[in-house]
Structure 1
Amino acid sequence: MSTMALASLFSPGRLGAVLAKEFVQMRRDRITFAMMLVVPIVQLLLFGYAINNDPKGLPAAVLALGQDRYTRSVVAALEVSGYYRFAKRPESAAEAQSLMARGAISFLVTIPSDFGMRVERGDEPRILVEADATDPAASSNAVGALQTIASRALTRALGTEELKREQSESALSFVIHRRYNPEGITQYNIVPGLLGVILQMTMVMMTAMALTREIERGTMENLLAMPATPGEIMLGKVLPYLAVGSIQVAVVLSAAKLLFGVPFLGSLGLLLTSVTIFVLALVLLGYTISTMARTQLQAMQLTFFFFLPSLLLSGFMFPYAGMPLWAQWLGEIFPLTHFLRVVRAIMLKGADLGDIGLEVFYLSIFVPLYAGIALLRFRSTLD
């Protein structure tokens, strides 16, 4: 085959020109190029540092009705173990129950007033431990370590060999009460959370692609020519997706009740109000993303970039309390984190507005925040 024939089949010069063109295109598409670099780094950091299947430092409260040395020894041993962090010291049982209903604590350890006397008599000393079992994975290891931790502490606290022998005949026992999900059914935790995940995945992406689709098709010019303000255009774009979100909510809640038997203990009105706020925040977030993207591909990439850390840091896939403090602070900036607390508290705990009012308030902040950013970035003319 002649040299000219080979050149017609393959030319290093032509290949080099195509490669140069592609590198120039990649340099111009800064969002795609940044995604290729940032997403692997984010995944490594989150999975390497933030995710922990054996959560430690879980928020707990102790209701000690006695102040003897055995009580102090058991509480100290539980805290030193690393599983429990006694940040709350309620003064009454009612205050302790309110803390658990609000989700402020994961465990409530109640030590009776006659605990020390029972230890010295070898009369089956018992401690009540109430665990928030709405997330069984978060509490299982901590509950499993209770017996070993406290028994060793009690043995060290006994003063004489005779008392140690008496204690061996009547060991310390725990009464474990798994609140809100006594059977430890995983679906009770996952299915309400799926409501937030499904809404976030669909609402943000569909809304984000709505405006970029207008730009790609050239119909954005018609919208800009209309005597409509940026706020009116934004509302016209996002309100239809509230109707789509309501259909998804009805489907998920019906499936949760009929297929999975998830209990529904709270107010339906409070739940629907919270869902409406959450969906409105999501569609405004999607609209904000659409003001940053120039193509539907970029809109999808930005949506994925938001969705990944939100899913991992919200407490849906991994226990929120088991993450390091910096990861918990980062998780607070995502609407899904607050919505999961609200929906699980309403459905599984029967929480009222007094219990979850702060979380609903935090969720509401995202609505004006995203709306303001979207309006500031809205392009009144095409570039």
Structure 2
Amino acid sequence: MSATDAIQNRETREPAFGFWRRSYAMLVKEFIQLRRDRVSFAMIIMLPVMQLTLFGYAINTTPRNLPTAVLTQEDSDLGRSILKAMQNTAYFRFTQEVHSVAEFDELLQSGKVLFGVEIPRGFERAVRRGDRPALLVAADATDPVASGSALGALGPLVQTALAHDLHIGDPPEMPFEIRAHARYNPAAESRLNIVPGLVGTILTMTMLIFTALSVTREIERGTMESLLSMPIKPVEVMFGKIIPYVIVGFVQAALIIGIGVVVFGVPIIGSLTLLALLTTLFITTNLSIGYTFSTIVQNQLQAMQLSMMFFLPSILLSGFMFPFAGMPVWAQYIGEGLPLTHFVRIVRAIMLKGAAMENLRYDTIALACLMLFAMTVAVTRFRRTLD
């Protein structure tokens, strides 16, 4: 063997433990990089904590303490006993006392209550005579999960609770009829509840991702410097990036609603114009939030991660998958700060209930406030980038 071959053999010979040393060096390098990438590191901690918290405490498939309105046309001991028995079932929580049928209907249509109980005039006297009068219970059945369990348990629970007060036999025989009317979705078809909610869910996911990647894409491609050198204001940049996606989102919404109507038979009882206007407001709100995310993160991976962090509580706490009224109070407060919560109420109310603008004032104002807040934060942060 020549001297040259011997030298080459020594250079190519694998040093002792070389594989493990190089692997260890890469391991240390990845931990250092992960520590520097604070957004990704936060995702590792926050995602499991958030999921455990939401599924463990906030999500409830058998909701209790559902908001209920009562229309009492007579003040009697029996009426009060019935209401107390209903409240003791833990399914109903009386939040409104109305004085007319019109007010009763408005509360159900706007979604402020899920149930309405009407005790008609002369109810107790009819019971004493053995006429079996009707106790009227109206339910907002747009969410069958929220209303189904309460309506199913209403008769037996109230019957048992009133057995002593009414001195009825064993087995107890109800001396009056509970006449339940499931409004807006009497057949309890889940597609009537799911399809309208999917409009907001899909728009939330796509609009957030589109705009969250917009500014970070400019930075990674090196075109941000050219953009910053132009005589353009932060507001103009934001509107220039948002408006095209408003059109894209509107086309998406029209496609989803069209498929829902044609294929799944979901009705549009309310105004199509009002639905289009409020859908545009919702799209703009999500685009503004996504644009804000793009000014916070440093790369497209972080933008995707932050978008998913926002999307997870949106889909769980908005009332799309699980009944909103059955969540604990702290979860409802968080849900009220999410655009999807308000849009799910809006789209279901317009499509299934025929709600008008006066029924949707609260959710419309909430969406507008969230949009203005997100736009302000986005413009402020982008102005810092310009400076």
* Number of the residue aligned with 2:32: 24
Match 2:42 to one of 34, 47, 55: 34
* Number of the residue aligned with 1:299: 303
CA RMSD of aligned residues (A): 1.9
Match 1:52 to one of 57, 60, 67: 60
- C-alpha deviations, 1:353-377, integer Å up to 9, x for none? 1111121111111221111000111
Contact 1:151–1:172 under 8 Å retained in 2: no
More displaced, 245-254 or 314-323?
Answer: 245-254
CA offset at residue 14 of structure 1?
Answer: 2.4
* Number of the residue aligned with 1:378: 382
* Number of the residue aligned with 1:199: 203
The secondary structure found in structure 1 opposite 2:75 is coil
Residue identity opposite 1:198 in structure 2: I
Runs of 4+ in 1 over 4 A off after TM superposition: 165-170, 379-383
Contact 2:270–2:354 under 8 Å retained in 1: yes
* Number of the residue aligned with 2:159: 151
With normalisation by structure 2, the TM-score equals 0.93
Q: How many residues align?
A: 377
Residue identity opposite 1:296 in structure 2: Q
Contact 2:140–2:147 under 8 Å retained in 1: yes
* Number of the residue aligned with 1:80: 88
* Number of the residue aligned with 1:244: 248
1:264-279 maps to which residues of 2 (within 5 A)? 264-279=268-283
* Number of the residue aligned with 1:70: 78
The secondary structure found in structure 2 opposite 1:263 is coil
Q: How far apart in 2 are the matches of 1:33 and 1:75?
A: 52
Residue identity opposite 1:201 in structure 2: M
Q: How far apart in 1 are the matches of 2:26 and 2:168?
A: 82
Q: How far apart in 2 are the matches of 1:375 and 1:318?
A: 35
CA offset at residue 270 of structure 1?
Answer: 0.9
CA offset at residue 39 of structure 1?
Answer: 0.6
Q: Determine if the alignment matches structure 1 residue 96 to structure 2 residue 104.
A: yes
* Number of the residue aligned with 2:329: 325
Q: How far apart in 2 are the matches of 1:168 and 1:194?
A: 45
Match 2:15 to one of 7, 13, 35: 7
Match 2:232 to one of 225, 228, 240: 228
With normalisation by structure 1, the TM-score equals 0.94
Match 2:184 to one of 180, 185, 193: 180
- C-alpha deviations, 1:263-314, integer Å up to 9, x for none? 1111111111101111111111111000011111000000000000011000
* Number of the residue aligned with 1:110: 118
The secondary structure found in structure 2 opposite 1:191 is helix
* Number of the residue aligned with 2:357: 353
Contact 1:119–1:167 under 8 Å retained in 2: no
More displaced, 53-62 or 358-367?
Answer: 358-367
- C-alpha deviations, 1:48-104, integer Å up to 9, x for none? 000000000000011122222211111001011110001111011111111111111
The secondary structure found in structure 2 opposite 1:261 is coil
Contact 2:234–2:379 under 8 Å retained in 1: yes
CA offset at residue 243 of structure 1?
Answer: 1.1
* Number of the residue aligned with 2:259: 255
Contact 1:196–1:340 under 8 Å retained in 2: yes
CA offset at residue 320 of structure 1?
Answer: 0.1
CA offset at residue 230 of structure 1?
Answer: 1.0
The secondary structure found in structure 2 opposite 1:248 is helix
Q: How far apart in 1 are the matches of 2:267 and 2:386?
A: 51
Over the matched positions of the two proteins, sequence identity in percent amounts to 48
Q: How far apart in 1 are the matches of 2:280 and 2:78?
A: 51
